[in-house]
Amino acid sequence: MKYFENKNIEKAYQKILNVLYVSLFLLALGIVLFGYSIFKSEEVKPTLLDDIIVNNPVENAYGYIDIISEPVLFAEYGEGEKKAYFVEDEEYLYVVEMNDQKYNEIVSKEYPVRVEGSTVWADDDLKEIAIETLNESLDSENQLLVSDYDDIFGPLTLDLNTTPLFMNDWILIIGLVLGVIALILLLAFFLSKIRYQRSLKKMSFEEKEKIKKEINDEKKAFYYKKANMYLTENYIINLANRFEAIPYKDIVWMYPYTLRYYGMKTYQSIMLVTKDKKNHTVCYMNVLTKTNKEIYQEIYETILNKNSKILNGFTKENKEKMKEITSKKAS
């Protein structure tokens, strides 16, 4: 864009370069975090579930139980994908949750079997079913209440199909996310650069010199910062993440395009269709304020006044005329 020796175009190009710089920074940071998580990973040991319940009953703690007998199923949910079991170690009775695959792994081994997972608060439904199941084996005089659940099992269950995310895991995830964002930004930069280079290649030397002269004509060239575009004597110069010079004489059809949020106009742009049947989006801007609406309208009317043959508005009639015009040119 420096070809045109114009401060506003150079600023637009600098924004594109900033995308490159940000992407490289994020990529480098992502690689550092990813590498740190790989080479500095430390093994985190689980804590006995009973110790967690007694000393620090919290959710998403990394716990274990050394079970000494086959788990006893008493509830299933999530269309049978997850099931709740009674298990016991040398001292206490617990409730754990797991799927069939984990259950089959456990019963295929010799007891005691150490099981590990993430702590979860036992909900009221689970407590009620657990107590009802226990009461089936007790006589009427020794029936338990739901309020007895915590005294028997503690307020936490152990989900054997999940483990908590540790600090090293978060560092790894953040590194990966930053890397993905960096690659997306790099792709956006290269696409913008390719579009700019292609637009220059399509122009003859004479046309480039003509555009260069027009955009630097302070009397006839108008730069709209909020729309990121120039209107010169013969061209629309679109600087929104690209450099695009559209001659007024090539525009066949134009119409406003509106984005609404809860029925309110928020952003508007101008859609242009040129003689080569290509669509162009220009003047994408916020129209929530009166000033911005006036700027948008000024740009729209200026383009219309530059070419009296432009089909104005998104109507069925204009769509049909557009088809006729392009079909004639094709033939």
Q: If you average pLDDT over residues 151-162, what whole number do you get?
A: 91
pLDDT of residue 156: 93
Residue 1 clears pLDDT 60, i.e. is over it:
no
Q: Same structural domain for residues 159 and 112?
A: yes
Q: Same structural domain for residues 126 and 263?
A: no
- List Cβ neighbours of 149 (8 Å cut-off, separation of 6 or more): 122, 127, 130, 131
Query: Is 258 domain-assigned?
Result: yes
Residue 197 clears pLDDT 90, i.e. is over it:
no
Query: Is 207 domain-assigned?
Result: no
Least confident of 23-27, 53-57, 193-197: 193-197
pLDDT 10s digits, 50-66 = 999 999 899 989 999 99
Q: If you average pLDDT over residues 240-247, what whole number do you get?
A: 84
Q: Same structural domain for residues 238 and 279?
A: yes
Q: If you average pLDDT over residues 291-295, what whole number do you get?
A: 90
Instruction: Determine if residue 292 is left, alpha or beta; phi over 0 gives left, psi from -120 to 50 gives alpha, anything else beta.
Output: alpha
CA-CA-CA-CA torsion for 103, 104, 109, 113, nearest 10 degrees? -10
Residue 94 clears pLDDT 70, i.e. is over it:
yes
Q: Same structural domain for residues 72 and 127?
A: yes
Q: If you average pLDDT over residues 255-281, what whole number do you get?
A: 86
Domain that holds residue 178: 1-42+166-202
Query: Is 212 domain-assigned?
Result: no
Q: How far apart are CA 120 and CA 99, in angstroms?
A: 15
pLDDT of residue 3: 61
Structural Rg of the chain based on CA atoms: 34
Whole-prediction pTM? 0.56
Q: How far apart are CA 226 and CA 292, in angstroms?
A: 8
- List Cβ neighbours of 57 (8 Å cut-off, separation of 6 or more): 119, 154, 155, 156
pLDDT 10s digits, 66-87 = 999 999 999 887 666 779 999 9
Q: Which amino acid is at 273?
A: V
Q: Same structural domain for residues 66 and 141?
A: yes
**pLDDT-based confidence at 329, cuts 50/70/90?**
low
- Triad 320, 323, 328: Cα angle to 5°: 130
Query: Is 8 domain-assigned?
Result: yes
Q: Which residue has the higher pLDDT, 138 or 51?
A: 51
Query: Is 104 domain-assigned?
Result: yes
Q: Same structural domain for residues 84 and 5?
A: no
Domain count, the chain: 3
CATH number at residue 138: 2.40.50
Q: Same structural domain for residues 231 and 317?
A: yes
Q: Same structural domain for residues 226 and 178?
A: no
Q: How far apart are CA 175 and CA 287, in angstroms?
A: 38
Neighbours of 295 (CB within 10 A): 18
Q: If you average pLDDT over residues 108-123, what whole number do you get?
A: 92
pLDDT of residue 330: 52
Measured N-to-C along each axis, helices 7-39 and 167-202 cross at an angle, to the nearest 10 degrees, of: 150
Query: Is 208 domain-assigned?
Result: no
Q: Same structural domain for residues 323 and 234?
A: yes
Q: Same structural domain for residues 248 and 306?
A: yes
Q: How far apart are CA 66 and CA 87, in angstroms?
A: 9
pLDDT of residue 239: 86
pLDDT of residue 326: 67
Q: Same structural domain for residues 54 and 38?
A: no
Q: Same structural domain for residues 322 and 248?
A: yes
pLDDT of residue 271: 93
**pLDDT-based confidence at 34, cuts 50/70/90?**
confident
Query: Is 122 domain-assigned?
Result: yes
Residue 1 CA from chain centroid, whole number: 31
